Structure 1
Amino acid sequence: MSRPIGLVSALRQELAAVLAAMPDEHIQRVAGRDFWVGHWHGHDVVAVLSRVGKVAAATTTTALLERFGVGRVVFTGVAGGIGQGVRVGDVVLARHLVQHDMNASPLFPRHEVPLYGRSHFAADAALSAELAAAAQAVLAQPHHTLGADAVTEFALSAPQLHQGLVDSGDRFVSSQTESDALRQALPDTLAVEMEGAAVAQVCHDYGVPFAALRTISDRADDTAHVDFTRFIERVASVYSVAMLSQWLTVRSP
């Protein structure tokens, strides 16, 4: 019997469309968090808000693995674009994740997680490949997925899927100075957010496959999008439910 799939987002607006697609979910409360347990496209799923920041996300993920025994974890939500050519409305699939604010030097190299001997945690290759195919199918038809009004409002012409390094840290990066510093310290960075690397580390500890899809809501600089909530509701959450639905539809239960 297959184990449930864990679906995680940081904010309620990001998870709202997923919960609306689950026909029979019921809530179980663990560690002060609501876990929505149900089914979607024939799969057992558990959906939860990680909350914001690395510690909150690690606590949520540990409860998800320990209490609900999920067999894989998928994180969806928004992020700030850092890499060249990563635009608002594009989607980034994490291949590796790093805590950009981890610094235990001089005892350990900058960014290395103490006692792990590594700074980067890899997303699961097979799971990520499945999600990449689902994301590309959805992004190929933005007008169909989002509607013409949303495409026009947010100027989402020819959205692209990018795959590579995602940074996580306990601060909201929203200035050109901070973005430039991240690019200098971690030149391969595509996007920045506040939870993914912590979730990846917990999944690494438990040996559970993990993948993360992030919609770019802004460029993480002085031109950051002003209507963050509207973007999540009109674009990011719609992308999330469409991509997850596409993935679960073609995946065997």
Structure 2
Amino acid sequence: MTGKTIGIMGAMPQEIDGVTALLNNPVRRVIGMRSYTSGTINGINTVVVFSRWGKVAAAATAATLIHVFNVDEIIFTGVAGAIDHSLNVGDIVIAKRLYQHDMDARPLMQQFEVPLLGKTFFECDDSKLNKIREAISPLIIDGILKDRIGADVLAQFGISTPNLHIGDIASGDQFFANNEQKATLQAALPTILCVEMEGAAVAQVCFEHKVAFTIIRTISDAADEQSHIDFPRFIEEVSSKYSVCIIKQLYNTN
């Protein structure tokens, strides 16, 4: 990563605040109602920004990082709702392929296909995914998350030993809060592990500008009728600390 400029995005201010605090010599700049903070982490030029919710907000933020700050890579970290039943609250998902589940221009083209690109998903290459997995695995294997957050706090959310997954993520401008939504998505895209509102939009912008991207999500809920319960507290006490730990591992800081 040396010599590059990295953009770090998140859709929740609580998750980004902790990452912003990692910056050395921070400089803040407001563009388009967003606050971009530049500095260095472990000697690497970095720009951190709270993107806000949704695909449009995420795409606009990613485009600004690319055109104004000239980033070479964008990392998005934040929460997601579990779609695959094997996932549990506290698990980490690294995106392999990202779909826009609300993209549907039928009968002009097949469902999920992005107009003019001829693509139904955006993909991260295997070599990059393996490097990310190696960097993040110690959070679980070495118990770093438990040490940083506290086993008692994790236990309050039913988290004992979180797992790390690599797989498909679906993005769309819709908060999943019932099993009917989950069943519909699973029927259409059976490989999806989790759902959120920004990742595929960031991936599309990066694809179109030939910029590397990494989407990493923490499972906050089961995307069902209980998905709203304790969500703000989970963001504050768990996922915000996950984000800091993940960035530290990726930057190889202590």
| TM-score (normalised: structure 1) | 0.95
1:17 alignment partner AA = G
Corresponding residue of 1:112: 113
Corresponding residue of 2:79: 78
Q: CA deviation at 1:155?
A: 1.7
Does residue 187 of structure 2 align to residue 180 of structure 1?
no
Distance 2:128 2:150 in 1: 28
SS of the residue corresponding to residue 119 of structure 2 reads coil
2:213 to 201, 207, 210: 210
Cα shift readout 1:31-89 (whole Å, capped 9, x = no counterpart): 22110100111111000111111111111100000000001110000000001211111
2:98 alignment partner AA = L
| TM-score (normalised: structure 2) | 0.95
SS of the residue corresponding to residue 24 of structure 2 reads coil
RMSD: 1.4
Corresponding residue of 1:228: 231
Distance 2:106 2:220 in 1: 33
Q: CA deviation at 1:216?
A: 0.3
Does residue 15 of structure 2 align to residue 14 of structure 1?
yes
Q: CA deviation at 1:225?
A: 4.8
Corresponding residue of 1:195: 198
Q: CA deviation at 1:224?
A: 1.5
- The 1:61/1:124 distance shift into structure 2, 3 A limit, reads farther
Q: CA deviation at 1:148?
A: 2.1
1:215 alignment partner AA = T
More deviation, 126-135/94-103: 126-135
1:65 alignment partner AA = I
1:156 to 156, 159, 172: 159
2:188 alignment partner AA = A
2:226 alignment partner AA = T
SS of the residue corresponding to residue 197 of structure 1 reads helix
Cα shift readout 1:3-53 (whole Å, capped 9, x = no counterpart): 311101011011111012223211112222110100111111000111111
Distance 2:127 2:248 in 1: 18
SS of the residue corresponding to residue 21 of structure 1 reads coil
Cα shift readout 1:116-170 (whole Å, capped 9, x = no counterpart): 1111101244443322222211122132131122122112111001111100001
SS of the residue corresponding to residue 79 of structure 2 reads strand
Corresponding residue of 1:98: 99
Q: Count residues in correspondence.
A: 250
Identity percentage of aligned residues: 42
2:134 alignment partner AA = A
Q: CA deviation at 1:102?
A: 0.4
1:105 alignment partner AA = R
- The 1:237/1:126 distance shift into structure 2, 3 A limit, reads farther
Structure 2 portions without partners, runs of 5+: none
More deviation, 133-142/49-58: 133-142
Structure 1 portions without partners, runs of 5+: none
Does residue 5 of structure 2 align to residue 4 of structure 1?
yes
Corresponding residue of 1:41: 42
1:239 to 216, 225, 242: 242
Distance 1:231 1:131 in 2: 24
SS of the residue corresponding to residue 242 of structure 2 reads helix
2:238 alignment partner AA = V
Contact 2:99 2:169 in 1 (8 A): yes
